[in-house]
Amino acid sequence: MTVDERVIEARFFLGKLTDTGPSSEDSVHYLSAFLSASRSIMNQLLHDYSEKHGLEFTDTDPLNSRTFRNRAHSKGARDALVFIDAFDRAIGRLESNKYYEVLALRRNINVRHGAHPLVHNLTVMTQERINDTDTLTVKTERDAPIAVGPNVFHPVAAEPETGSPKNLSFEDFPGDSVRRICALYLSAIVDEVATLRAER
């Protein structure tokens, strides 16, 4: 896959997430697929530039900023070193983005389904390594109902659900939609890819 194909894939799953009702279990799977696709974009860019500069990484070689830089040094590939310096600056800018910090850097992302008696807590595992491969999985838990009293802000009530629509939101950004946050996250990544391509 190319970087552009990775971006298309991420946008596809973002569209699916947008089109799917937040009460649907599919919304969580589309979120998982979106996060997996979008997280792969910068990795793919690194792979593409390792090929462009003839660094000769095999499929079994670990490829990250450090190994790229070491290989570029050992081969005397000055253009590759210029690229990896720019790449590291791009990652630094992304890591200072509050949406990127939550969606890409933290291991667990808690997602709540609405204010009703049986709230789902959905924990999206974004940085799990299985057989040396980045793997994204979803674990689901269910909160126990609790009584709501003065100054208690839990989105859980002891009475039956009223039928109000469920909302899908990140605990870190309770006042914002998952779709908007995901779109801003992807946009930040795509902007950094464009910046890196312009600097080459």
**Tens-digit pLDDT profile for residues 94-145:** 999 999 988 887 655 666 554 433 344 555 544 444 455 544 444 544 444 4
pLDDT of residue 200: 60
Cβ atoms of 102 and 172 within 8 Å: the answer is yes
Q: Is the pTM of this model over 0.85?
A: no
String of b and e for 153-179 (b: at least 16 CB within 10 Å)? eebbbeeeeeeeebebbbebeeeeebb
pLDDT of residue 167: 55
pLDDT of residue 20: 80
**Tens-digit pLDDT profile for residues 156-172:** 333 333 333 345 667 77
Euclidean distance between CA atoms 48 and 172, whole angstroms: 33
Token readout for 100 is 């990127």
Among 79, 98, 77, CA closest to 87? 79
Residues 6+ positions from 6 with CB-CB distance below 8 Å: 37, 38, 40, 41, 44
Give residue 154's pLDDT band: very low, low, confident or very high (50, 70, 90): very low
Euclidean distance between CA atoms 80 and 200, whole angstroms: 10
Angle subtended by helix axes 65-75 and 26-52, to nearest 10: 10
pLDDT of residue 188: 96
* Angle, CA of 137, 141 and 146, to the nearest 5°: 155
**Tens-digit pLDDT profile for residues 46-97:** 999 999 999 989 888 899 999 999 999 999 999 999 999 999 999 999 999 9
